């Protein structure tokens, strides 16, 4: 039901696009191909009659009624029409096809990535989306093939074969029906096998992804050290192999069935060809047809049997399209005019905040649950963030701090409740405009295997090449002494996967880079999620000192499970089990003797005993 609805999203303009792609692939040859196709319909039938005449001329020659030259001319004419013409068409087809595939492939792969990039963040917590993506990526070629194969089908099997069928029927209706049955058997076989194949393909997507995952555990940098130290190679390898065999066995079943069906069809075709020859010889003997007619009918018959086999391919592609396309179309469509345009000419105009000066963000009764999880990660959040404020969100692991910051930034959409930016519901705003207000140092930040300057500059893509902005971000985060130690400074590539001179950073160093990324371009609202998590207490102390200056009276949300962060804040927000349990200044909250007081006392005690321990 749902899939049917999805299909309707497919626009016929896409089919036209595909055909236009084919056109563009060879703008001269493709129209020529169509003209030749129309010509070929008549010509190949004509060739058969030439063959008849050639054969009869040969017979006449034996009776000394015709010359060798006449036979040669006729045979040559037949060969010329049938073979040279056919070969020429084949050349154009192959040439056009090669170009078309390359063009269509580029287009659809870019479109797929583009659409994936447009999906809301929440989809990334859903295994189903990964299945659909993998499925679309793997079988995209089928989607592209259909229009091409329909065109090919029109060329090869079109009216000329119908004409042949007419010839056979006129000659002998039993032979005609036999031919027709062969066609039908081929189509049914193709339907059944393609159907099965499609089902198995769908079932195999998840195991294939799992298999690839185990494979990646054996060759990905982030895992390799633990794989080695815990001696996991054998375990992962076995998982990989078992899944591989499981997937393979499912396909083996289809291969067996397909081979069997092919054999049956092959036997039926053999019987037809030979039966026809016997019938024809018998009729020549009876004087009902001459030798020329024998060759004509025999050729038409052979050609039809061959065509019946070839019928399976277009049938297959149509079935594939019906079976596979709904999922793919749901990934790729609808595609609006604006999106098409954006995809074509995506670049970065001047950075400007189109939603006006930031004044406040208000969360009203915001609740959020992750997909396939009943518990609410945050619930009933009411919070106002005003321009120039520094807010510290504190709470233990799992209390919902990270989720809350993603909701504020519009990366996640509330399950219920609303987020307002300057009084406007952000659900109604252009997300790309909204995102411009934020500089975020994520807890689970991205480490790009690219230059250090890219790793910072990505905080404000529009200023990627702006050295002033880059240096400002570096200055605010004391990154210079790390940069000085790198062989190529900010040009050094981080990570060695794509560059032999790449450098790896320590976790603490990375955290400073992430800080610089968040500061890049001096965002209106800075959000730092556990920015000092991997930094030692002394360094943290220094960083906290720097923070206030670096913030330049801009708005900031600092998230931490460490109480030391509270010092910086104008306001402290205490979180517990997804809810805000207390807010206020340091002094207010201490006076309240509530949750903050509890946390403050216990962490202070911890910290002091640690320091005390050091002194002993
Ligand atoms: N991607 C996710 N899918 C499902 N549950 C999640 C996901 N991320 C976080 N959670 C759950 O949401 C709750 C809040 O998590 P989080 O916001 O990360 O807390 P914090 O940042 O305070 O440690 C936790 O119970 C956590 O298990
Ligand atoms: Mg967190």
342 in any annotated domain? no
- Are 35 and 141 members of one domain? yes
- Are 128 and 67 members of one domain? yes
- Are 519 and 535 members of one domain? no
The pLDDT of 52-71, averaged and rounded, is 82
Rounded distance from Cα 128 to ligand 1 centre (Å): 20
Rounded distance from Cα 377 to ligand 1 centre (Å): 6
CATH of the domain at 57: 1.20.1560.10
- The answer to whether the beta carbons of residues 565 and 392 sit under 8 Å apart is yes
Nearest atom of ligand 1 to the alpha carbon of 529: 21
CA–CA–CA angle 336, 339, 344 (5° rounding) = 130
- Are 517 and 542 members of one domain? no
Nearest atom of ligand 1 to the alpha carbon of 397: 23
User: Does any ligand 1 atom lie closer than 6 A to the CB of residue 397?
Assistant: yes
Nearest atom of ligand 1 to the alpha carbon of 406: 17
Residue 557 three-state SS: strand
- Are 182 and 108 members of one domain? yes
557 in any annotated domain? yes
The structure tokens listed for 565 are 């962060």
- Are 579 and 472 members of one domain? no
Rounded distance from Cα 507 to ligand 1 centre (Å): 22
Residues 112-123: pLDDT tens digits? 999 998 898 888
340 in any annotated domain? no
600 in any annotated domain? yes
- Are 414 and 384 members of one domain? yes
Give the sheet arrangement for strand 416-421, strand by strand.
378-386, 360-368, 416-421, 424-425
pLDDT of residue 497: 80
265 in any annotated domain? yes
Q: Whose CA is closest to 209, among 164, 232, 240, 178?
A: 240
- Choose the final residue of a domain: 308, 335, 362: 335
Is a pLDDT exceeding 60 seen at residue 351? yes
Distance of CA 555 to the CA centre of its chain: 37
pLDDT of residue 305: 85
Nearest atom of ligand 1 to the alpha carbon of 396: 22
Q: Name the residue with the closest Cα to ligand 1, atom 17.
A: 400
Q: Which residues contact 222 (CB under 8 A, 6 or more apart)?
A: none
Q: Name the residue with the closest Cα to ligand 1, atom 3.
A: 370
User: Does any ligand 1 atom lie closer than 6 A to the CB of residue 381?
Assistant: no
Q: Whose CA is closest to 351, among 434, 457, 467, 461?
A: 461
User: Does any ligand 1 atom lie closer than 6 A to the CB of residue 402?
Assistant: yes
Ligand nearest to the CA of 443: 2
**More confident call, 547 vs 1:** 547
Q: Name the residue with the closest Cα to ligand 1, atom 12.
A: 377
Determine the structural domain holding residue 462 and report its residue range: 443-523
Residues 25-61: pLDDT tens digits? 667 777 877 777 777 767 777 877 888 888 888 888 8
- Are 249 and 266 members of one domain? yes
pLDDT of residue 525: 96
Question: Sorting pLDDT into bands at 50, 70 and 90, what band is 72?
Answer: confident
The structure tokens listed for 273 are 């060809």
Rounded distance from Cα 401 to ligand 2 centre (Å): 5
Using CA atoms, how far apart are residues 22 and 11, in angstroms rounded to an integer? 18
Is a pLDDT exceeding 80 seen at residue 607? no
The structure tokens listed for 309 are 């086999």
Which residue is it, tokens 């790009």?
A: 448
Count CB-CB contacts under 10 A for residue 106: 11
- Are 427 and 561 members of one domain? yes
Rounded distance from Cα 308 to ligand 2 centre (Å): 63
Q: Name the residue with the closest Cα to ligand 1, atom 2.
A: 370
Mutate to test the pocket of ligand 1, among 396, 398, 529, 565 (most ligand atoms within 8 A of CB): 398
533 in any annotated domain? yes
pLDDT, the chain, mean:
86
Rounded distance from Cα 337 to ligand 2 centre (Å): 39
- The answer to whether the beta carbons of residues 142 and 320 sit under 8 Å apart is yes
Q: Name the residue with the closest Cα to ligand 1, atom 27.
A: 398
- Choose the final residue of a domain: 462, 491, 523: 523
- Are 65 and 200 members of one domain? yes
Residues 473-504: pLDDT tens digits? 999 888 999 999 999 999 999 988 888 888 99
Q: Work out how many domains the chain is built from and give that number.
A: 3
Using CA atoms, how far apart are residues 375 and 364, in angstroms rounded to an integer? 19
CATH of the domain at 413: 3.40.50.300
- Are 530 and 503 members of one domain? no
Using CA atoms, how far apart are residues 208 and 244, in angstroms rounded to an integer? 8
Rounded distance from Cα 545 to ligand 1 centre (Å): 29
Using CA atoms, how far apart are residues 120 and 301, in angstroms rounded to an integer? 58
Rounded distance from Cα 421 to ligand 2 centre (Å): 23
Is a pLDDT exceeding 70 seen at residue 615? no
User: Does any ligand 1 atom lie closer than 6 A to the CB of residue 125?
Assistant: yes
pLDDT of residue 9: 58
Give the DSSP per-residue string, 110-171.
HHHHHHHHHS-GGGGG-HHHHHHHHHHHHHHHHHHHHHHHHHHHHHHHSHHHHHHHHHHHHH
Using CA atoms, how far apart are residues 342 and 388, in angstroms rounded to an integer? 35
Is a pLDDT exceeding 60 seen at residue 94? yes
495 in any annotated domain? yes
Q: Name the residue with the closest Cα to ligand 1, atom 7.
A: 370
**More confident call, 2 vs 319:** 319
Percent of the chain with pLDDT over 90: 43
Using CA atoms, how far apart are residues 397 and 436, in angstroms rounded to an integer? 28
208 in any annotated domain? yes
- Burial level of 1, CB count in 10 A (0-12/13-18/19+)? exposed
- Choose the final residue of a domain: 523, 550, 578: 523
- Are 478 and 555 members of one domain? no
**More confident call, 221 vs 238:** 238
End-to-end CA distance of the chain: 72
């Amino acid at each position: 039901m749902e899939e049917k609805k999805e299909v309707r999203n497919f626009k016929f303009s896409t089919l036209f696009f595909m055909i236009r792609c084919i056109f563009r692939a060879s703008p001269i040859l493709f129209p020529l191909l169509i003209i030749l196709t129309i010509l070929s319909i008549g010509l190949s039938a004509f060739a058969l009659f030439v063959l008849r005449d050639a054969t009869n001329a040969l017979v006449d020659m034996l009776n000394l009624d015709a010359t060798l030259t006449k036979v040669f001319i006729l045979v040559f004419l037949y060969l010329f029409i049938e073979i040279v013409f056919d070969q020429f068409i084949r050349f154009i087809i192959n040439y056009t096809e090669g170009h078309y595939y390359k063009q269509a492939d580029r287009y659809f792969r870019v479109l797929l990535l583009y659409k994936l990039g447009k999906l809301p963040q929440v989809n990334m917590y859903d295994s189903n989306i990964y299945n659909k993506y993998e499925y679309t990526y793997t079988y995209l070629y089928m989607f592209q093939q259909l229009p091409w194969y329909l065109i090919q089908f029109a060329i090869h099997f079109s009216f000329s074969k119908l004409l042949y069928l007419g010839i056979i029927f006129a000659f002998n209706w039993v032979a005609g029906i036999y031919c027709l049955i062969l066609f039908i058997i081929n189509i049914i076989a193709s339907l059944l096998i393609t159907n099965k194949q499609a089902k198995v393909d769908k079932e195999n997507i998840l195991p294939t992804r799992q298999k690839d995952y185990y494979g990646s555990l054996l060759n990905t940098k982030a895992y390799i050290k633990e794989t080695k130290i815990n001696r996991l190679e054998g375990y992962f390898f076995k998982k990989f192999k078992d899944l591989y065999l499981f997937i393979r066995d499912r396909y083996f079943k289809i291969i067996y069935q397909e081979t069997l069906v092919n054999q049956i069809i092959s036997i039926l075709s053999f019987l037809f060809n030979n039966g026809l020859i016997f019938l024809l010889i018998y009729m020549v003997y009876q004087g009902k047809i001459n030798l020329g007619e024998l060759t004509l009918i025999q050729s038409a018959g052979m050609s039809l049997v061959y065509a019946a086999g070839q019928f399976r391919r277009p049938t297959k592609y149509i079935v594939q399209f019906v079976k596979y396309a709904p999922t793919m179309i749901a990934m790729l469509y609808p595609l609006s005019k604006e999106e098409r345009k954006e995809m074509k000419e995506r670049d970065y105009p001047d950075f400007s905040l189109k939603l006006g000066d930031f004044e406040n963000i208000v969360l009203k009764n915001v609740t959020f649950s992750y997909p396939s999880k009943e518990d609410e990660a945050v619930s009933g959040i009411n919070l106002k963030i005003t321009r120039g404020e520094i807010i510290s969100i504190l709470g233990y692991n799992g209390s919902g701090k990270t989720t809350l910051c993603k909701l504020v930034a519009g990366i996640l959409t509330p399950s219920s409740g609303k987020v307002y930016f300057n009084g406007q519901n952000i659900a109604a705003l252009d997300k790309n405009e909204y995102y411009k207000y934020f500089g975020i140092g994520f807890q689970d930040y991205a480490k790009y295997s690219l230059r250090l300057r890219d790793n910072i500059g990505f905080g404000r893509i529009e200023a990627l090449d702006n050295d002033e902005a880059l240096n400002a971000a570096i200055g605010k985060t004391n990154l210079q002494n790390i940069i000085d130690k790198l062989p190529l400074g900010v040009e050094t590539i981080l990570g060695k996967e794509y560059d032999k001179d790449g450098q790896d950073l320590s976790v603490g160093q990375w955290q400073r880079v992430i800080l610089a990324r968040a500061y890049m371009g001096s965002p209106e609202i800075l959000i730092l999620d556990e920015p000092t998590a991997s930094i030692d207490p002394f360094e943290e102390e220094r960083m906290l000192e720097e923070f206030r200056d670096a913030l330049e009276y801009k708005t900031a949300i600092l998230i931490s499970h460490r109480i030391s962060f509270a010092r910086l804040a104008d306001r402290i927000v205490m979180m517990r089990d997804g809810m805000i349990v207390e807010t206020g200044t340091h002094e207010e909250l201490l006076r309240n003797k509530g949750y903050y007081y509890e946390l403050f006392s216990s962490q202070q005690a911890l910290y002091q005993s640690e320091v005390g321990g050091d002194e002993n």
